[in-house]
Structure 1
Amino acid sequence: MKLLLRLATSLLLWIIMMVILVLIILLPRDMEVKRIGVKDHMSYHFTWSGYKENIQQYLADVKENKTLGTSVAHQPVEWELAHYGKRSIAILVPALIISFLIGILKGVFDYRRNRGLWKVLGEGTTWLGQSIPDFFIIIILELIISLTIHRMFPHLQLYGIEHWYNIFLPILFLSMYPAAVIANYTTQALKEEDDQDYIRTARAKGLPETIILWKHVLRNCWSKILIHFMPIILTLLSSMVIVEYMTLYRGMGTRLMEAIKIKDTIASTDTILPIETPTVIGFSLEFMIILLLAQWVNQVIKHFLIPVRKDEHT
């Protein structure tokens, strides 16, 4: 019952945030441009009547046409949400799985090899992976790729969306930083289990260290690792826009940025800042729905793992 209440509360809060977000997007963007001498001066005047008219007009269009709107390509927004959303999910889900798998393995390695040069190669590289901005690492890797793979395989097109293998590079870039973060969480969780009574008991029974680590210690760390599920999702979604842009992968992130891109020049003296309002609303809601689902998963994990964690040493 408590879990259902938490899920319902999350749903209500996210619906409220979605409504607020839509109201922000529908703010009037009427700009007045005047030329004084050789300079153009822009001014913005907000009016509640204009704001009310925007909201009423959009809701009327949605009700009449049974759609969130139409994009500049004359496609229903729902079609674009499915088309570009499918591409982003194709890199987001594998990147999430790879991040946890590689991150946990790296965290175990850092925990076991924590002396001398091994510590530098272990925790040192994990710290480096978290400290250096991911876009900088992506630039370095792209430079290496251009100097090696492109020279050896000039016909291999790693960027774009034309070929089936174009998803591999975005998945790799997207999973790098979260994997380093999860590795750090795993190492810290394992260190917190040091000298626990159940570990001393297992060693007294003569169990090998590998079995103690993988069968007992790591099992008791699952709740501490998986509790960071929501922050990892937020990291992946925020990085996805940059990764898609830098790999020419047209997914949700790049399409949303195109929809909100404001032109550098104003064409007339009375104009509206040119954004695709229906498209921006659609993709913003799609991102928020993904976050809602991620929060539900996070709450389910907390509900089922944390109570078990309390009784594991009894």
Structure 2
Amino acid sequence: MDIRKETIKISIAVSLAIIFLVLIVFFPRTPTITTSGGRAETINYSYDFNYEEYKQNISTLFKDLNEEKSLGGTRYQFKSVEDELLHYFPKSLQVIIPAFILSLLLGVWKGIFDYQHTNTKKNILGNGTTWLFQSIPDFFLVVFVFFIAITFWPQLRLFSQGSWYSPLVVILLISIYPVMFVARAVGVSLLAQDNADYIKVAKSKGLHTRQIIHRHMLKISLKDLNTILPTLMVIILSNLLMVEYVTGYQGAAYRLFIALGGVQTSVATYLVPEYEGGLVLGIGLCFLLTILLTHFLKLAVSWKISR
């Protein structure tokens, strides 16, 4: 792999992603609210694109960056975007990093298991379960776990923020699909090597299948796995957005829903959900940085392998 070429590609992709993120986040969203006459006072919402408002939103961002060295304020009077990021993003990292490591370890083990039992009766526990958990949407898995917890173990309070094990529940939930994703990648890579000449030679020497996998096949499979590390992180982050909201785990993804106006903290007549553009951008940049670090990890592993 050409490290320099890959670095340039990543730099261009990140720059375009940041530009696109800014343009999307600060797109004008203020609706026009009118009421009809009469006792009912029907509330009517309408929207017209306002270029001047769009220009003002972006210019305010750069003004805050230049003068205040900040992405701006939040709905809380004495808290800046940076204050909220320092409070919420570490909580998300507490589950993102363990979930990433867990997905790799369990995924590799599951991929080896799937390969070893491809042509046996245990294949239903191998490739069968991998296919099953990849086919079921994560939302239904979370709802199913929620139902089981409430029905059979209500005393555990799995989704309570006051329990010490609530982060473990989130880690487990956001790791289910990534584990199966890694297992599928490793299993397919091992199957692709099944009829290779060096495998036949190893078998002719009397080596056990497990020995062949660990001494020869797994090295190539791990190289293949390294190429999908950024994709694995994207999957984990996409799961995090849903799991934090459903379980009420108050990390960066949960705070993102509040910043978007998706979680109402107050209700009043004619009230438009408060939108915190600076915070949305900040959280987006944090997630983008997390994916970028995974790209650097991929490049570092590739460089070490190629030496």
Q: Compute the TM-score of the two structures, normalised by the length of structure 1.
A: 0.86
Q: 2:125 — aligned with what?
A: 121
Deviation at 1:52, TM superposition (A): 2.2
Q: Tell me the alpha carbon deviations over residues 146-196 of structure 1, each in whole angstroms, 9 at most, x when there is no partner.
A: 23333xxx2x43224333322110011111111111111111111111121
Alpha-carbon distance in 2 for matches of 1:273, 1:148: 37
Distance 1:265 1:164, change over 3 A: closer
Deviation at 1:228, TM superposition (A): 1.6
Select 2:51's aligned residue among 48, 51, 57: 48
Q: Is the 8 A contact 1:169 1:247 kept in 2?
A: no
Distance 1:139 1:31, change over 3 A: closer
For residues 137-152 of structure 1, the aligned pairs below 5 Å read 137-150=141-154
For residues 43-82 of structure 1, the aligned pairs below 5 Å read 43-73=46-76, 74-82=78-86
Alpha-carbon distance in 2 for matches of 1:61, 1:220: 49
For residues 1-314 of structure 1, the aligned pairs below 5 Å read 2-37=2-37, 39-73=42-76, 74-150=78-154, 154=155, 156-261=156-261, 267-268=269-270, 274-305=274-305
Alpha-carbon distance in 1 for matches of 2:185, 2:20: 34
Q: Tell me the alpha carbon deviations over residues 128-147 of structure 1, each in whole angstroms, 9 at most, x when there is no partner.
A: 01001122122222222223
Deviation at 1:288, TM superposition (A): 1.6
Q: 1:311 — aligned with what?
A: none
Distance 1:43 1:111, change over 3 A: same
Q: How many residues are matched?
A: 301
Which range moves more in the overlay, 106-115 or 8-17?
8-17
Q: Is the 8 A contact 1:104 1:183 kept in 2?
A: yes
Deviation at 1:287, TM superposition (A): 1.5
Higher-RCO chain (CA-CA 8 Å, sequence separation at least 6): 1
Distance 1:50 1:244, change over 3 A: closer
Q: Is the 8 A contact 1:70 1:76 kept in 2?
A: yes
Deviation at 1:275, TM superposition (A): 0.4
Amino acid at match of 2:81: V
Q: Secondary structure at the match of 1:163?
A: coil
Deviation at 1:250, TM superposition (A): 0.6
Alpha-carbon distance in 2 for matches of 1:34, 1:149: 49
Deviation at 1:15, TM superposition (A): 2.3
Q: Is the 8 A contact 1:29 1:273 kept in 2?
A: no
Deviation at 1:294, TM superposition (A): 2.1
Distance 1:29 1:210, change over 3 A: closer
Distance 1:126 1:261, change over 3 A: same
Deviation at 1:273, TM superposition (A): 5.9
Q: Secondary structure at the match of 1:42?
A: strand
Deviation at 1:303, TM superposition (A): 4.9
Deviation at 1:251, TM superposition (A): 0.6
Deviation at 1:82, TM superposition (A): 1.8
Which range moves more in the overlay, 95-104 or 43-52?
43-52
Alpha-carbon distance in 1 for matches of 2:16, 2:185: 32
Deviation at 1:75, TM superposition (A): 1.2
Which range moves more in the overlay, 34-43 or 195-204?
34-43
Distance 1:16 1:209, change over 3 A: closer
Amino acid at match of 1:76: S
Q: Tell me the alpha carbon deviations over residues 228-261 of structure 1, each in whole angstroms, 9 at most, x when there is no partner.
A: 2121111100000111122221111110011002
Q: What 5-or-longer segments of structure 2 have no aligned partner?
A: none
Alpha-carbon distance in 1 for matches of 2:49, 2:223: 49
RMSD (CA atoms): 2.5
Q: Is the 8 A contact 1:29 1:272 kept in 2?
A: no
Deviation at 1:285, TM superposition (A): 1.5
Amino acid at match of 1:222: L
